[in-house]
Amino acid sequence: MKVFRVITLIGALVLMPALAFGAKININKAGVQTLQELDGVGPSKAQAIVTYRERNGRFQALTDLTKVRGIGEQTLDANRDQIAVQ
C-alpha cells in the first residue's frame, strides 16, 4: 500500500503545476486524487469514475461521465471547462 500511496502522491505533485495554469483534467488518465479536484467530486465519486473506466474502457465524450453512478448533469456542467477526454 505504501508504494501505491507514493505513486499517487508523485502523480498528484506532477499534475498540480499543470492544474494551476488551467490545464484540463483528462478523465481517461487521471487518478482518484486528481479527480477529487473537480467540483462536487469527493473520494467516492472519484473512485467510481476510475472503476467505471477500468470496467468499461475509455470515455469517448464528456457526456459519458454521466454514466458513472453519482455523476449527473449538474456535476458535469460544473466541471465542463476543467475536464478533457483524450
- What pLDDT, on a 0 to 100 scale, did the predictor assign at position 4? 60
Going through 13-73 in order, the beta strands assigned E by DSSP cover 25-26
> CA dist 2 to 5, 7, 29, 48, Å?
5, 9, 21, 22
- pTM confidence score: 0.74
pLDDT of residue 23: 86
Mean pLDDT of 62-68: 96
- Report whether pLDDT(15) > 60: no
Question: What is the distance between the terminal CA atoms of the chain, rounded to a whole angstrom?
Answer: 29
